[in-house]
């Protein structure tokens, strides 16, 4: 399996109104490229209001979550701060 096959994509729905634009991730899921293209094509085919709603693919960058985060001294637990009621 190549690196190309491991890529995941979000389907981004763009809704444009008279005053603003809104972007949402369709169905809150990641898809492989083939599935994302099929779903996006189906959504675009069923879309009756193309002036207001459009769909785009956005590649998901998993490199952010694959490397562990290292705590610095600033964020390590401070016993004095933990005792405060707020």
Per-residue pLDDT reduced to its tens digit, 18-33: 999 999 999 999 999 9
In a domain, 29, yes or no: yes
pLDDT tens digits, residue range 42-66? 999 999 988 899 999 999 887 766 6
Give the span between the Cα atoms of 60 and 68, in whole angstroms. 18
Domain that holds residue 47: 1-60
Q: At residue 79, does pLDDT exceed 70?
A: no
In a domain? residue 16 = yes
Listed in sequence order, the residues at least 6 apart from 41 whose beta carbon sits closer than 8 Å to its beta carbon are: none
Q: Does a structural domain hold residue 35?
A: yes
Tell whether 9 is covered by a domain.
Answer: yes
Q: Please give the pLDDT value at position 45.
A: 93
Q: 10 Å Cβ neighbour count for 39?
A: 18
- Does residue 32 lie within any of the structural domains? yes
Count: domains in the chain:
1
């Amino acid at each position: 399996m190549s690196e190309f096959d491991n890529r995941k994509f979000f389907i981004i729905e763009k809704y444009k109104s008279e005053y603003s634009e809104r972007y949402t991730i369709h169905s809150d899921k990641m898809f492989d490229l083939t599935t994302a293209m099929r779903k996006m094509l189906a959504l675009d085919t069923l879309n009756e209001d193309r002036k207001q709603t459009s769909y785009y693919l956005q590649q998901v960058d998993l490199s952010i979550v694959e490397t562990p985060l290292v705590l610095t001294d600033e964020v390590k637990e401070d016993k004095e701060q933990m005792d405060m009621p707020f």
